[in-house]
Amino acid sequence: MKWSRRLVLGFFLYELVTPWLSFAQKSDLAILCVQGISQQCGYETDPMDGVLGKGTKNAIKSFQYNNKLAQTGIMNESPRTAHPKSQIDTVTPANKPSTESAPAVPTGRQESSTSEMEKVPIVYNPPQRGAPGHRGVAAVRGFGETPTFYPLVPDDHIGLTIQEQPALYWYLTEPTTYKIELTIVDVNNDVQPLFEHDLPSPTRAGIQKIDLAEYDGVRLSLGVHYKWFVSIMPDPSSRSKDFSAFGEIQRIEQPTLKVKLSQANKEERPALYAEAGLWYDALAAISDLIDAMPNDSSLRTQRASFLGQIGLREVREENVKKSGE
């Protein structure tokens, strides 16, 4: 795109987004728009993840400086509002030098690797099929420890997977020494659980993983609606005192997706799963990347944005906090 076309596009898109963003500063979609516009105009920003991070704020500050606006790092004033007499050719894009000496505004992206810059946003596309699901939240009360815990699953539909032995993720607000049990049942045949197994007590709070591939005795059948329960047992001798949270899962087939996955690298797979409506597989794919590259903070930011798309804001904030450590 030629410089003049980029300039015109940047000016009008910022004019369009600014009034909306002033009322929706924390909206994932609004921030995604700003990140896309900033990159189109030549400003270095965070990956397109829908999170108003340091790189995105610095890109906004650079745009504001180049166009003689207050350098707030948020889009709360448009160029035309600030300068009513300004014309399009007075709005300065990132690659047009200003006549003044620009302040040292670090972009936060100069030392980023190519692979980090090219990360694809993970946008979850909920499936338009099946019965509504639910997310069961539990909180231990009346005993010495008081953790709250819940599965990392959608709350208004059944989470899908194409894996016979998927990974299940749940969240714990504080460590616990109580005994924990996983139970999986067929919703339409809950007389006998498909699987029951004791889990190790978590020594840390945060996101917990249960990898069903580690257990030979459990495999999900195609098309079956399952519920899985995580139960904390303050008193194992009295199971009526258990506290249980639950999620729902169903295994499906997607032959065309398997072809795409075979041609994609590991960094591209979370987005492919999310686009296909496979919640469990998308979450597992981005979490596996985090485990493999724990120092790549942008991966945690991606997962936080992904979890935020189904309303898991507490987990999202926890991930954003960790990404800056």
Residue 50 confidence (pLDDT) above 60: yes
**Would you say 219 and 164 are in contact if contact means Cβ atoms under 8 Å apart?**
yes
Residue 117 has pLDDT above 50, yes or no: no
Least confident of 103-112, 140-149, 245-254: 103-112
Q: What is the pLDDT of residue 300?
A: 93
Q: What pLDDT does residue 4 have? A: 45
Q: Which regions of the chain carry the CATH code 2.60.40.10?
A: 138-323
Span 68-91, pLDDT tens digits:
566 566 665 444 444 444 333 444
Task: For 265-315, write each residue's pLDDT tens digit.
Answer: 999 999 999 999 999 999 999 999 999 999 999 999 999 999 999 999 888
What does the pLDDT look like over 26-47, one tens digit per residue? 456 667 666 666 665 655 666 7
How far is it, in rounded angstroms, from Cα 232 to Cα 158? 23
Q: Between residues 217 and 194, which one has the greater pLDDT?
A: 194
- Which pLDDT band holds residue 133 (cuts at 50, 70, 90)? confident
Contacts for 39 with CB less than 8 Å, ≥ 6 apart: 45, 48
How far apart, in whole angstroms, are the C-alpha atoms of residue 263 and residue 235?
A: 50
Q: How far is CA 203 from CA 101, 206, 208, 325, in A?
A: 52, 10, 10, 20
Share of the chain above pLDDT 70, in %: 62
Separation CA 200–CA 202 (nearest Å): 6
Q: Is 231's pLDDT higher than 90?
A: yes
**Neighbouring-strand partners of residue 32:** none
Task: Indicate whether 167 pLDDT > 70.
Answer: yes
Does position 118 have pLDDT exceeding 70, yes or no?
A: no
Distance CA 195, CA 102 (A): 63
pLDDT > 90 in the chain, percent: 47
* CA–CA dist 292, 217 (Å, integer): 27
- For residue 103, the model assigns a pLDDT of 44
Mean pLDDT, the chain, whole residue set: 77
3-state helix, strand, coil in the chain (%, to 5): 35, 15, 50
- What is the pTM assigned to this prediction? 0.64
The whole-number average pLDDT for the span 219-228 is: 96
77/264 Cα distance (integer angstroms): 41
Fold of 138-323: Immunoglobulin-like (2.60.40)
* Residue 113 vs residue 302, higher pLDDT: 302
| Selection from 244, 251, 246 nearest residue 225 by Cα | 251
Q: Please say if the pLDDT value at position 5 is more than 60.
A: no
> 213 pLDDT exceeds 60?
yes
Under a CB-based contact definition with an 8 Å cutoff, are residues 4 and 93 in contact? no
| Three-state DSSP class for residue 251 | strand
Token representation of residue 14: 């910022």
pLDDT of residue 323: 62
pLDDT of residue 271: 96
Q: What pLDDT shows up at residue 293?
A: 95
pLDDT at 314: 81
Confidence at 144, pLDDT banded by 50, 70, 90 = confident
Q: Which of 16-30, 64-78, 94-108 has the highest mean pLDDT?
A: 64-78
